[in-house]
Amino acid sequence: MIKSPRGTRDLLPPDTALWNFVEATVRDVFRTYNFHEIRTPIFESTELFARGVGEETDIVSKEMFTWEDRGRAESDKGQSLTLRPENTAGVVRAYIEHKLWDRGLNKLFYIGPQFRRERPQKGRYRQFYQIGAEVLGPTTAGSESPARDAEILELLATLLDRVGITGWTLELNSVGCPADRAKFNEALRQALEPVAGKMCVDCQRRAVTNPLRVFDCKVPEDQPIIETLPRISQFLDDGCRTHFEQVKEILTAIGVPFTYNDRLVRGLDYYTRTAFEFTHGALGAQNAILGGGRYDGLAESLGSPQAAPGIGFAIGEDRLVLSLTATADSVICRPDAYIAPLGLGMNREAARLARELRRHDLVIELGDEAFKLKKSFEAADRIKSRYILIVGENEIKADSFALKHLASGEQQTVPRSELAAKLAQSR
Ligand code: HAM
């Protein structure tokens, strides 16, 4: 038997109803904040992620699905391609490629699959789904303002509320600007020098190549050492400090609760200033329901002719669905009626009636004249239809139909002209 590849899964009904409920709700929230949808390719040139996300990050150094294109055309040959591990780099690439600033398109959202070769566990998959948004634009558009950071965080609080997630925690930090981080990295390098030998091999490498990434380490034995390291907060310049204060002031004023976490550096290299994660207790070890932050230099590093400060986030949709208290049964749409054609030639009549009722937006399941009545009842029960509607010769002659409510067993005869209203009204 061929099974789905490790770390991937089939999303089946009724769960897909929950996913659709989440996506419809978030689309509606994005609409009221004037975000527009963007769909970028699910694979991009490998260089985009190496330059955007950073060579030394776990994502780029260990987790990408990368291959060399075997195309016949000269232009395809040997090109290194990668399934997108995240969507921010792709959105910024598209922003530059299509000069979206000229069209005033600077608030974009996306919903789609991402791919990382991680060790699968609850809430962690190799193909997973993100719902994300990015605000970016020329400095004249106010995209660097702390007001944008606070607005994005307020949007997230509203969005989680609307899908019915309670009990989340917003963890907030500032990772400063590149100059702050250079000083921080140097201080970390020095602090790590005498202790790195006692740490895991990844940390020993990070201590030399990109010390900040030591904070991504999950090895329990390394944590006491990491606890003693300097923190980015000690290295923020005045501009970054003020920016962060203003974000926190607005959040406090509008009542979005947050927890300051000065260990939070995020696992991607493009972040500047505000960085955040929302965590949720129901998730276990993989407790980050979403993550994001500001990335003021990313557009330029990907070749933008002008500065385009930005901020965004990505929600792990798989984890969002895992934290929902709503169940699939509460959002799934049950059939209103199962139409049971009774006797030869009745498929035609049943099809005619089904067509009529579906035009009234009713959910109809259609049976077969070859079924005995008992089999039709079993089928209606199995799909949890509310009613069974019998279409036999007598019914057609009388233009009235036997309609039976399956839970109560109550049966009545309803004229064709009243059927749709009757089914809709008793929902
Ligand atoms: P990230 O923190 O790498 O950020 O991913 C965001 C969220 O995606 C995580 O908090 C988690 O919920 C979900 N996620 C990540 N990996 C997996 C996985 N293997 N299985 C299931 N869910 C996963 C980013 O991707 C940034 N692009 C976010 C961003 C947008 N920053 C600025 N703009």
Q: How far is CA 187 from each of CA 230, 243, 269, 356, rounded to the nearest angstrom?
A: 7, 23, 18, 74
Phi, psi at 262, each rounded to 5°: -80, 5
Q: Give the β-pairing of 288-294 and 310-316.
A: antiparallel
Ligand 1 pocket, CB under 6 A: 86, 88, 116, 118, 123-125, 128, 130, 132, 134, 267-268, 288-293, 295, 312-314, 316, 318-319
| 200 CA → ligand 1 middle, Å | 24
| 203 CA → ligand 1 middle, Å | 22
Task: Give the position, in ligand 1's atom list, of the atom nearest the Cα of 89.
Answer: 27
Which among 61, 22, 20 is positioned nearest to 267, based on CA atoms?
A: 61
Cα angle 169, 174, 180 (rounded to 5 degrees) comes to 160
The token duo for 176 is 């400063």
Per-residue pLDDT for the chain (427 aa), expressed as one digit of tens each?
A: 999 999 999 999 999 999 999 999 999 999 999 999 999 999 999 999 999 999 989 999 999 999 999 877 777 778 999 999 999 999 999 999 999 999 988 999 999 999 999 999 999 999 999 999 999 998 888 899 999 999 999 999 999 999 999 999 999 999 999 999 999 999 999 999 999 999 999 999 999 988 998 998 889 999 999 999 999 999 999 999 999 999 999 999 999 999 999 999 998 999 999 999 999 988 887 889 999 999 999 999 999 999 999 999 999 999 999 998 778 778 888 999 999 999 999 999 999 999 999 999 999 999 999 999 999 999 999 999 999 999 999 999 999 999 999 999 999 999 999 999 999 998 8
Q: What is the 3-state secondary structure (H, E, C) of 217-256?
A: CCCHHHHHHHHCCCCHHHHCCHHHHHHHHHHHHHHHHHCC
| 281 CA → ligand 1 middle, Å | 17
| 292 CA → ligand 1 middle, Å | 8
| 314 CA → ligand 1 middle, Å | 6
Place of tokens 């009626």: 337
Tell me: cis bond preceding 415? Omega within 30 of 0 counts.
Answer: no
Task: Give the position, in ligand 1's atom list, of the atom nearest the Cα of 319.
Answer: 12
- Exposure b/e, 220-230, CB count within 10 A at least 16 = b: eebeebbeebe
